[in-house]
Structure 1
């Protein structure tokens, strides 16, 4: 599993980071803080999906600093465990939501393998300073700081409802899995959520491999290489089509030396409009006989014949790009955001129903 994922929706100016695992081992907190700062320039809202039992305080505080300094609205979603430093990260967000089966824990920080009595005066002072900082963060939703201190000292675990009552989270999200998951132990719940995520990713990768004509056990790199090769082939086909349409435009007068460069830029920015402007013109040219579907001959002008052939190619390119006529759709919004964002933009224009279905599925997965 990667340390975390970055998913960006440029149209809605939203981003999502998945923070699963131990901070400092599975999650590079310093890198995540850097990425949050970068995303702050691209998104108005950043969602952080959390299933973590904590980890490095120093790396966690880097993430907290990035959250507190962000201009974007930060929404933390606890989908499993938010313990120790992960709880502090969650509470530092502008809004915190917990699934009704999730668990949250807060406690005093400590040096691994050392009791406070064995620390130097300098280390004790540093630890007290960090402890006060964590208490301040955890009391930002209205929970009294002295109360927070007492709860941290006792290493307190909360159910979602208890965390909301204590003033640590803003809302509890009702699910159909509360009875199934709420009685699991902390390690069991964290593992269950982690395994479900990893399993869904493996299934998705298998389906992607199948669509690409690869074996189910294809590696992620092999899948990425196949996708890039497919994109390259499609781009080359589109470039050939643009060249053909430009040639047709020169024949029928819609493309001239004066506007050719503008037409090329139009083809890059809005291919559909470019194709329409080039082909939707009065017919001209010599007569050409073509075989029709019934085996007979049809007489057309050369402009009609070439336009017809180019239209057929255009339709094929559209199908290749939006997936129509191909095996059942297996790519979700996450996949497109990471691997082919341009395809989402094309899908929004050419297949808005499919675009909306993927977007609705994605938005449902983060609440």
Structure 2
């Protein structure tokens, strides 16, 4: 029997014992895979699980992601932004591309000194005639503008639209201190030992990946990191795997 390649969820959620707070982990690539062949897409399952957490007061959002589907990411950002709970974003390693937009949903954003944000304009793979390609370019401009508003809303008066556009055009990797300077981070913490869960294949999408991140891919994990990753992997495997994508393929 022919089987499609399975995909695990990129997120996990867990309520605290007193059900007043919850931890939401987004580790790895943000995808748009369905539960079943004709099932619900990831943003809907994300909403369903978020609703199941109940009347929580605080969401701790942990990020270590290279980005992924722009539409899924914007939807998740908006879900978290309008949730009545206080959202505290923790950038454990890297919040790149659309993952950095999700980070902006935090009422408070915390970054260890060795973590990073990467911001850039929306990307996609395109095929078609001149008219179709011009439409795709216009669509990308609209998507990039949507993400830009998320950054500006968080940054307040710490960055101008002109400066932000310059950073987006350049595909900029921001350290925690730089993110703080631009208003995209509220607290800079001591360094942690998390390494970016980003493969060479995913890094290859981007032009300006810092050398230290490339080196980290081959760095051995500590016992604590291994335990954390095993726990997340086990929780992911307990869920029904995602299968084929049913939406279009724009990435950021």
For normalisation by structure 1, the TM-score amounts to 0.48
Residue deviations 1:324-361 (CA, integer Å, cap 9, x gap): xxxxxxxxxxxxxxxxxxxxxxxxxxxxxxxxxxxxxx
2:59 alignment partner in structure 1: 46
Q: 1:35 aligns with which of 37, 49, 59?
A: 49
- How far apart, in 2, do the equivalents of 1:68 and 1:2 lie? 21
Segments of 5+ residues of structure 1 without an aligned counterpart are 206-219, 225-367
SS in 1 for 2:162: helix
Give the whole-Å Cα distance in 2 for the aligned partners of 1:62 and 1:204: 26
Residue in structure 2 matching 1:23, options 30, 34, 57: 30
| Higher share of residues assigned helix | 1
Q: Determine whether 1:156 maps to 2:147.
A: no
1:130: how far off? 1.1
**1:197 to 1:145, Cα distance in 2 relative to 1, 3 A:** farther
Q: Provide closer, same or farther for how the CA distance between residues 74 and 201 of structure 1 changes in structure 2, counting only shifts above 3 A.
A: closer
Structure 1 vs Structure 2 CA RMSD: 3.5
Native 8 Å contact 1:17 1:46 kept in 2: yes
**Structure 2, unaligned stretches of length 5 or more?**
1-7, 34-40, 195-209, 239-252
Q: Deviations over 1:135-184 (max 9, x none)?
A: 00011122322221111011001111111111111111113659xxxx86
Is 1:199 matched up with 2:226?
A: yes
Alignment check: 8 A CA contact 1:33 1:62 kept: no
Q: Report SS of the residue matched to 1:32.
A: helix
Tell me what 1:102 maps to.
Answer: 115
Higher RCO (CA 8 Å, separation ≥ 6 residues): 2
Check 1:47–1:204 CA distance in 2 against 1; reply closer, same or farther (3 A cut): closer
- 1:208-357 superposed matches below 5 A: none
- Secondary structure of 1:66's partner? helix
Q: How many residues align?
A: 202
Q: Which range moved further: 148-157 or 123-132?
A: 123-132
Does the 8 Å contact 2:43/2:72 carry over to 1?
A: yes
What does residue 13 of structure 2 align with?
A: 6
For 1:176 and 1:201, locate their aligned partners in 2 and report how far apart those are by CA, in whole Å.
13
Give 1:202 deviation, angstroms.
7.4
Larger Rg: 1
C-alpha spacing 1:52/1:71, structure 2 compared with 1 (3 Å): same
* Counterpart position of 1:128: 141
Q: For the Cα contact (< 8 Å) 1:136–1:145, is it kept in 2?
A: no
**Structure 2 CA distance, aligned partners of 1:123 and 1:202?**
38
Which whole-Å CA distance do the structure 2 matches of 1:94 and 1:190 have between them?
A: 31
Looking at structure 2, the residues matched to 84 and 191 of structure 1 have their Cα atoms a distance apart, in angstroms, of: 22
Q: Which residue of 2 aligns with 1:250?
A: none
